[in-house]
A and B are shown apart, each in its own frame.
Chain A
Amino acid sequence: EVQLVESGGGLVKPGGALRLSCAASGFFSSEYGMNWVRQAPGKGLEWVASILSDDQYIYYTDSMKGRLTISRDNAKNSVYLHMDRLTPEDTAVYYCARKLDTALGDWFDSWGQGTLVIVSS
């Protein structure tokens, strides 16, 4: 069974940093594009970052560019999102999602349960 489990969220002060983890099971995360999507309280879904299967292509949302690093550890079958200089506007539930690539297109077919990040003094 495909499963994604996020961890690492919590309360952090403005200007602080946090590293989120996404542990995959039931498949090899190295073979897929892996993504982070967030949802701020009362807001919609916002794509945050992607690392494609060959690791050559990494993308970040403009709203957090320069403050994010997405990476993966294939030995641990995990993906990470390091976030720097956090602001209260970064408060959100952060989801890890697997991207399925097909001839018909790409979509996020499996998601974790999310990890809550609260940025507050």
Chain B
Amino acid sequence: DIQMTQSPSFLSASVGDRVTISCRASRSVSTFLNWYQKKPGKAPDVLIYAASTLQDGVPSRFSGSGSGTDFTLTINNLQPEDFATYYCQQSYNMPFSFGPGTKVEIK
């Protein structure tokens, strides 16, 4: 099975900041990498699929990059509604494992 790691596990940021979250796969997943946003009490929402493609309706301040084993989610101009936990997920092969999450909190 492919293991996913994320860093940092927690970050504190202010509105307007630029935030970068890293995700690493235990072996290459090409660009089969997705990012989800999860808020307490709500279902996860996909933000980015195929490493860098923005899901319809997701603000353009979110972007993704990377291929192989190393990926990045960037949030520019952080907004109050962006404070949440972010998960990467590989869809290269089953099981479609998730990373442990990165919680973005208000500084």
Contacts and interface: CB of A to CB of B under 8 A. Distances in A.
B32 A105 contact: yes
Contact of B96 (A50, A111, A113): A50
Given A45-B98, A59-B94, A105 B31 contact: yes
SS class of chain A's interface: helix, strand, loop or mixed? strand
B53 interface: yes
Interface residues of A, number: 23
Interface in B76-107: 85, 87, 89, 91, 94-101
B12 to A, nearest CB: 19
B49 interface: yes
B43 A114 contact: yes
B46 interface: yes
B98 A106 contact: no
Contacts of B95: 47, 50, 59, 61
A104 interface: yes
Interface of A: 35, 37, 39, 44-47, 50, 59, 61-62, 95, 97, 104-109, 111-114
Given A50-B94, A104-B31, A108-B89, 7 more contacts: A45-B36, A45-B38, A45-B101, A59-B94, A105-B50, A109-B55, A113-B43
